[in-house]
A and B are shown apart, each in its own frame.
Chain A
Amino acid sequence: MSFGKLLLCLFFQSAFALKYNMTPGVTPMSHQIYDLHMIIFYICVFIGVSVFCVMMYTLIYHRRSVGAKAAQFHDNLWVEVLWTIIPFLILVVMAIPTTIVMMRLNDARDADVNIKVIGMQWKWRYEYLDHNIAFDSNLAPSIARAMNGQLTEAEKQDPNVLLQVDEPVVVPIHKKIRFLVTSTDVIHAWFVPELGINRDCNPGFISETWAYIEKPGIYRGQCSQLCGSGHAFMPIVVIAVTQEEYDAWVKDKQAGNADGVNQTIKKISMSPDQNTQTKQADPAKAQEQTGEAPTKEALMEQGAVVYEKQCAVCHQLSGQGQGIFPSLIGSKVATGPVQPHIYQLLFGKNAMPAFKNILSYEEIAAVITYVRNMWGNDDQQKYGPDAGGVYTAKDVEAIYLKSKSNQDKGG
């Protein structure tokens, strides 16, 4: 868009009024928020215009160049009392409806659906407390590539490129949905404008908020509290569906029926999030089922997928790390004995999250194998006999059980 055209837009904002105003949203609360916003906006416009009119009048007619002589008054008790009291009264008038809306907004009792929202660097985890469903929700084009400016041209053309996820939150309409928000690492904020929700996720604390969605649709938002490098890349997609569709989705989700889930999402979404259907290839699992140990190639292939999704955000696709996130190339953990390596993936360390509840043993084994054989990490002459190696889910499970029993012994 040319500069001139942009300037025109600035002065003829009517066309933009809808696009660049707060959304009225799709819940009773978001409508009330919007109404309050418009009322206070018009009050401010009224005050601003009155003040500026007096100012402009003064600047035009009380100038020395038009022959104005300066008066010498410098006090007027009544005027001063008036312009203290009138703004105060306007504020009181404003405070009353606001207080009423606030009391409604903060009443999350008697919810029909309870969803725990967990922010983590840099994705969302959703736990449906009533249905025993839990899943992660990542930026649909790979976050690692988005953070490195490596999105493809096709992806860049997508109008929702940064606002789509691999697994959306699905909720029923016409039900009171309670969101319990928290975080596992730093402060995030769950911000979905159309639901009128913007709530900080504080690590170690849970706060509650709620929505009652009036019409089916896709509602997008993103993290609004600076949470590190990936802050711009943790979007939120809420899909509101009818109760029947929701029930079907819950059933499919509980049964692990990915196709059914995608059917539901597809039905509701006009432009489906493309990546929802591309579940990661799981060759290792396929081989497990046939009873053979997975081959190194299969592990490497699966490991690459897991690595890009879970690890590359911090350690980079190149393995070089960034900032406080260490390089994996030739690192002691990735080339030394495997036990501490697996332990660290399972239980985390400092900024490194614990993956024991996020990845399966197979996935951990695959990504361990991947990291230990990439970037020359398997060079045994350089790093010693422990470098490289192929590891399976059994190795991971053994270490998990061992550490658990140690913990139990330790009390």
Chain B
Amino acid sequence: MSDEPEKGLLRWVTTTNHKDIGTLYLVFSLAMFFLSGAMALLIRTELYRPNLMFLSPLFYNQLVTSHGLIMIFGAIMPALAGFANWQIPLMIGAADMAFPRLNNWSFWLLPFAILLLVSPYFIGGPAPDMGWTFYAPLSTTYGPPGTDAMIFAIHMLGISSILASINIIATILNLRAPGMTLWDMPIFVWSWLITAFLILAIMPVLAGTVTMMLTDRHFGTSFFNAAGGGSPLLFEHLFWFFGHPEVYVLALPVFGIISEIIPTFSRKPLFGAMSMIYAILAIAIMSFVVWVHHMFTTGVYLSTQLFFMYTTMIVAVPTGVKVFNWIATMYKGAITLEPPMMFAVGFVFLFTLGGLTGVMLAIVPADYQYHATYFVVGHFHYVIVSGLYFGLVAGAYYWVPKWTGKMYNFTLASWHFWLSLISSNITFWPMLLVGLAGMPRRIPDYNLQFTDFNQLATFGAFAFGLSQILFVIAMRQCIKGHQKAGQTIWDGAKGLEWRLPTPLPYHTFSEPPKVEGKTYI
């Protein structure tokens, strides 16, 4: 094991270094974010005014599908894996991940999986056009040939996530520095430990579901075909048994990032650290018994609806505890608003909005009116874009200067924050309102009465998309810029990673550090 990275492009193909692989994950996810974001802008352009303008309904549906799948599997999950790769070994005092070669493979499956997913656009034949939830029988009997590419892409993405999760679990359980008990670990590491188990539980379900789709499509089975004794509802149950915990797979690590950042810039220990961990655990466990809340309008029994309504409402309790804890952490602190903290506060603000609309959606009778309208689209974009994406950006502004030894321009990052905050609200707030007015989601053309707020959302979407270019510039400054970051980057930061030199050497903690007690107090 040499101390310096190899030269040339081959370094990135053959690397087993957790920092290199983390970088690969993050760069890849940013590229996918822009690819998928461009699709979103095409969608918003078509929706700028009523009547079809330049997209055919078929192509529109393909864009809707690819936008969702790529954002979730290509942008957010790899970004989380990137942070896990960089930060988990640094935070627990390990030299690297437990299985470095496996780590390399889990990353390199990704670009090819996404390539397979988008291949139908290039080799002809429509790409999958049934939405990211690809409900049967629209995806089986009626699915275009590109659906098969999607099925195998999902298999590959699933393998990648499962391997990464095994790696993370093995690293956390076995490679902690001597003296660090599980309860001493930073919250970010805790959140990823729980998330990794979630991924292990749900990805095989998704893999099984798409395999059933494959055999329904080509081998004459009827899992999802009522004519052969199957049921389209079975598909929805299986999909959402994966799909709902998946939402928390995306959210929990971001909760972890926020729980690191807020104490740093409040210069105060995280309030209720234990209850934070228990809240994450509670959310993770509850996430397995709420899936039917995506299916209240399918005609499931009243008793089923009631059970899943109650469980869904209960999830709000631990989620609320987390928000209250973050605010209590800030309370009576000595707050400074550097860019990471701005985005973290923005996260708490907008994620709470997303969460409250989620409570509204849990009320089943009201859900009959919200279901499959733009209210749902607004809700989950508040959670994912102005919630989770803000959290990820906060993480990048927080840790990247430590990794590279270069600092970005604070004014630039502040502009990035304010533009993102305003434009994301201009985009998603009107969606909530047109949804209430009854505009269904996933339509390429809408009736005249929805025009004004759709135009507003389109303006917002373009402003938001263009604002993200500032983020790329800031990240470039961290890599190629001239402004050096000092040894102490954030004066309130605690934890093992901040004791290391800036920039981080290629190999860290070859000798495990001595840890006594909690790392984050």
A residues in contact (CB < 8 Å) with B: 1, 3, 6-7, 9-10, 16, 19-23, 29, 32-33, 36-37, 40-41, 44, 47-48, 51-52, 54-55, 58-59, 62-65, 68-76, 79-80, 83-84, 87-88, 91, 94-95, 98-99, 101-103, 105-106, 121, 146-149, 151, 156, 158-163, 181, 185-187, 189, 191, 193, 196-200, 202-205, 207-209, 221-233, 322-324, 350-351
**CB–CB A226/B452 < 8 A:** no
Q: Inside 8 A of B437's CB, which chain A residues have their CB? A: 19-23
Q: Inside 8 A of B302's CB, which chain A residues have their CB? A: 102-103, 106
Chain B: minimal CB distance from A341 (Å): 22
**CB–CB A21/B335 < 8 A:** no
Chain B: minimal CB distance from A170 (Å): 21
Q: A147-B52, A203-B232, A224-B373 are in contact. Are A323 and B58 (CB under 8 A)?
A: yes
Give B324's nearest chain A residue, CB to CB.
Answer: A83
**CB–CB A193/B353 < 8 A:** no
Give A151's nearest chain B residue, CB to CB.
Answer: B51
Query: Considering the chains assembled together, what is the distance between the CA atoms of A121 and B313 in angstroms?
Result: 36
Q: Inside 8 A of B364's CB, which chain A residues have their CB? A: 98, 102
Give B358's nearest chain A residue, CB to CB.
Answer: A44
Stretch at the interface among B104-112, B179-187, B270-278, B396-404: B270-278
* 17 A–B contacts, CB within 8 A, in A order: A10-B456, A16-B433, A22-B366, A37-B366, A51-B352, A59-B335, A59-B337, A91-B359, A102-B309, A148-B52, A159-B448, A162-B445, A186-B141, A203-B226, A222-B440, A228-B130, A233-B445
Chain A: minimal CB distance from B369 (Å): 5
Q: A41-B360, A151-B51 are in contact. Are A74 and B306 (CB under 8 A)?
A: no
Chain B: minimal CB distance from A160 (Å): 7
Query: Considering the chains assembled together, what is the distance between the CA atoms of A102 and B135 in angstroms?
Result: 26
Residue in contact with B330 in the complex, picked from A16, A62, A191, A207, CB distance below 8 Å: A62
Query: Considering the chains assembled together, what is the distance between the CA atoms of A187 and B521 in angstroms?
Result: 53
**CB–CB A323/B144 < 8 A:** yes
Query: Considering the chains assembled together, what is the distance between the CA atoms of A33 and B438 in angstroms?
Result: 14
Give A9's nearest chain B residue, CB to CB.
Answer: B452
Q: Which residues of B, 328-373, contact A by the 8 Å Cβ criterion?
A: 328, 330-337, 345, 348-349, 352-353, 356-357, 359-360, 363-366, 368-369, 371-373
**CB–CB B356/A48 < 8 A:** yes
**CB–CB A228/B446 < 8 A:** no
**4 additional contacts (CB under 8 A) given A102-B306, A162-B50, A187-B137:** A40-B363, A64-B336, A146-B52, A228-B138
Q: Inside 8 A of B357's CB, which chain A residues have their CB? A: 44
Give B335's nearest chain A residue, CB to CB.
Answer: A63
**CB–CB A231/B337 < 8 A:** no
Decide if the interface of chain B is mainly helix, strand, loop or mixed.
helix
Residue in contact with B444 in the complex, picked from A69, A87, A200, A232, CB distance below 8 Å: A232
Residue in contact with A193 in the complex, picked from B231, B305, B352, B369, CB distance below 8 Å: B369
Q: Inside 8 A of B138's CB, which chain A residues have their CB? A: 186-187, 226-228
Is B174 in the interface zone, CB < 8 Å from A? Answer: no
**CB–CB A70/B267 < 8 A:** yes
Q: Inside 8 A of A84's CB, which chain B residues have their CB? A: 317, 321
**CB–CB A71/B456 < 8 A:** no
Query: Considering the chains assembled together, what is the distance between the CA atoms of A209 and B51 in angstroms?
Result: 32
Chain A: minimal CB distance from B489 (Å): 16
**CB–CB B429/A10 < 8 A:** yes
**CB–CB B456/A198 < 8 A:** no
Give A188's nearest chain B residue, CB to CB.
Answer: B138
Residue in contact with A68 in the complex, picked from B131, B233, B335, B459, CB distance below 8 Å: B335
**CB–CB B335/A200 < 8 A:** no
Q: Which residues of B, 415-457, contact A by the 8 Å Cβ criterion?
A: 426, 429-430, 433-434, 436-438, 440-449, 451-453, 455-456
**CB–CB B448/A64 < 8 A:** no
Give B135's nearest chain A residue, CB to CB.
Answer: A187
Residue in contact with B333 in the complex, picked from A71, A231, A350, CB distance below 8 Å: A71
**CB–CB A6/B452 < 8 A:** yes
**CB–CB B345/A62 < 8 A:** no
Q: A54-B327, A72-B269 are in contact. Are A63 and B53 (CB under 8 A)?
A: no
Q: Inside 8 A of A161's CB, which chain B residues have their CB? A: 50, 447-448
Q: Inside 8 A of B131's CB, which chain A residues have their CB? A: 226
Q: Inside 8 A of B314's CB, which chain A residues have their CB? A: 88, 91
C-beta contact mask, B252-279 vs A, less than 8 Å → 1, else 0? Answer: 0000000000000011111111110000
Chain A: minimal CB distance from B453 (Å): 7
**CB–CB A202/B363 < 8 A:** no
Chain A: minimal CB distance from B144 (Å): 5
Q: Inside 8 A of B446's CB, which chain A residues have their CB? A: 162, 232
**CB–CB B360/A40 < 8 A:** yes
Chain A: minimal CB distance from B348 (Å): 7
Query: Considering the chains assembled together, what is the distance between the CA atoms of A9 and B371 in angstroms?
Result: 25
**CB–CB A322/B368 < 8 A:** no
Query: Considering the chains assembled together, what is the distance between the CA atoms of A134 and B88 in angstroms?
Result: 64
**CB–CB B226/A228 < 8 A:** no
Residue in contact with A33 in the complex, picked from B266, B366, B445, CB distance below 8 Å: B366
**CB–CB A6/B455 < 8 A:** yes
Q: A62-B330, A63-B335, A204-B231 are in contact. Are A70 and B452 (CB under 8 A)?
A: no
Is B10 in the interface zone, CB < 8 Å from A? Answer: no
Give B232's nearest chain A residue, CB to CB.
Answer: A202
**CB–CB B272/A199 < 8 A:** no
**CB–CB B142/A351 < 8 A:** yes
**CB–CB A98/B330 < 8 A:** no
**CB–CB A65/B328 < 8 A:** no
Query: Considering the chains assembled together, what is the distance between the CA atoms of A59 and B342 in angstroms?
Result: 11
Query: Considering the chains assembled together, what is the distance between the CA atoms of A3 and B365 in angstroms?
Result: 36
Is B100 in the interface zone, CB < 8 Å from A? Answer: no
Is B220 in the interface zone, CB < 8 Å from A? Answer: no
Q: Inside 8 A of B58's CB, which chain A residues have their CB? A: 229, 322-323
**CB–CB A20/B269 < 8 A:** no
**CB–CB B232/A51 < 8 A:** no
Query: Considering the chains assembled together, what is the distance between the CA atoms of A258 and B211 in angstroms?
Result: 50
**CB–CB A189/B297 < 8 A:** yes
**CB–CB A63/B336 < 8 A:** yes
Residue in contact with A102 in the complex, picked from B269, B305, B323, B448, CB distance below 8 Å: B305
Residue in contact with B61 in the complex, picked from A10, A99, A228, A351, CB distance below 8 Å: A228
Query: Considering the chains assembled together, what is the distance between the CA atoms of A44 and B370 in angstroms?
Result: 16
Residue in contact with B266 in the complex, picked from A6, A23, A70, CB distance below 8 Å: A70
Q: Inside 8 A of A68's CB, which chain B residues have their CB? A: 332-335
**CB–CB B436/A202 < 8 A:** no
Q: Inside 8 A of A47's CB, which chain B residues have their CB? A: 356
Query: Considering the chains assembled together, what is the distance between the CA atoms of A163 and B445 in angstroms?
Result: 11
Q: Inside 8 A of B274's CB, which chain A residues have their CB? A: 75
Chain B: minimal CB distance from A317 (Å): 13
**CB–CB A147/B57 < 8 A:** yes
Q: Which residues of B, 30-83, contact A by the 8 Å Cβ criterion?
A: 50-53, 56-58, 61, 64
C-beta contact mask, B316-328 vs A, less than 8 Å → 1, else 0? Answer: 1100110111011
Is B246 in the interface zone, CB < 8 Å from A? Answer: no
**CB–CB B366/A44 < 8 A:** no
Chain A: minimal CB distance from B407 (Å): 19
Give A107's nearest chain B residue, CB to CB.
Answer: B302
Q: Inside 8 A of A19's CB, which chain B residues have their CB? A: 437, 449
Q: A48-B353, A70-B268 are in contact. Are A187 and B232 (CB under 8 A)?
A: yes
C-beta contact mask, B121-133 vs A, less than 8 Å → 1, else 0? Answer: 0000110011100
**CB–CB A223/B330 < 8 A:** no
Q: A6-B456, A98-B365, A191-B372 are in contact. Are A87 and B316 (CB under 8 A)?
A: yes
Q: Inside 8 A of A204's CB, which chain B residues have their CB? A: 225-227, 231-232
Query: Considering the chains assembled together, what is the distance between the CA atoms of A69 and B448 in angstroms?
Result: 56
> Which of B144, B337, B453 has the largest number of chain A CB atoms within 10 A?
B453
Chain B: minimal CB distance from A137 (Å): 16
Query: Considering the chains assembled together, what is the distance between the CA atoms of A147 and B382 in angstroms?
Result: 31
Chain A: minimal CB distance from B154 (Å): 18
Give A232's nearest chain B residue, CB to CB.
Answer: B443
Ranked 4 nearest A-B pairs via Cβ = A204-B226, A207-B299, A149-B52, A232-B443
**CB–CB B438/A221 < 8 A:** yes
Query: Considering the chains assembled together, what is the distance between the CA atoms of A47 and B356 in angstroms?
Result: 9
Q: Inside 8 A of B459's CB, which chain A residues have their CB? A: 3, 6
